Amino acid sequence: MDETASEYRGPESTTYDQIASLADRNVVQVDSLQRDISELQAKKEDLEREISVMQKKMLHSMKAVEDAQITKSNSESSIKQLRQDILVKRETNAKSALVISALTKEIQDTKDALESKRLDFISKFERCSREISLLPVFSREISEKLQNESIAGCNNDNLGKLRNLFAVYEKLCLKHSGCLI
């Protein structure tokens, strides 16, 4: 019977063969689909990892952008404050320059006034010295002794006149120096 069964193929056997062939193809297709599904799942997992990495990078980028915006805002605020400080300093410098200029003028005026008084004092002193030297009190003898820083041995009458003259001279000097009112 085995021989006849293998030799004879009837309609049932072709149906079984077709079913077996379809089943074999289905098994191959299922295996292929399972491999495709496994590959797709692996790709899906890779893509999910990449998406996760990209999301983290995007979060870091967004944080960096926020930080940059905060830094920009702070920088703009600092620049605005610096501009204000510069304007205030310019105004202060301008006022200081005016004060310095006024003080410089006042110092120069004071210096000029002092120089004028000094020159006037020198002129008066020289004139007074010339006038005093013409007085008979300053004889040659007294002049020489004064130059030697001693008037010992001079005539008493001349010494009294000389002392009076020196007292007047001292008052004049004190008056011109501002020590005597």
The answer to whether residue 148 sits within a structural domain is: yes
Query: Could you tell me which residue, 7 or 95, shows the higher pLDDT?
Result: 95
The answer to whether residue 11 sits within a structural domain is: no
Domain span including residue 172: 114-177
Q: Report percent pLDDT > 90 for the chain.
A: 50
The answer to whether residue 135 sits within a structural domain is: yes
Number of structural domains (the chain) is 1
Say what the pLDDT of residue 173 is. 73
Exposure b/e, 29-49, CB count within 10 A at least 16 = b: eeeeeeeeeeeeeeeeeeeee
CA proximity to 163, closest of 139, 128, 137: 137
The answer to whether residue 168 sits within a structural domain is: yes
Poorest-pLDDT segment among 24-28, 75-79, 87-91, 166-170: 166-170
Binned at pLDDT 50, 70 and 90, residue 145 comes out as: low
Say what the pLDDT of residue 171 is. 79
Contacts for 174 with CB less than 8 Å, ≥ 6 apart: 180
CA proximity to 176, closest of 134, 130, 119: 119
Which tens digit of pLDDT belongs to each residue from 146-160?
666 666 666 666 667
The answer to whether residue 131 sits within a structural domain is: yes
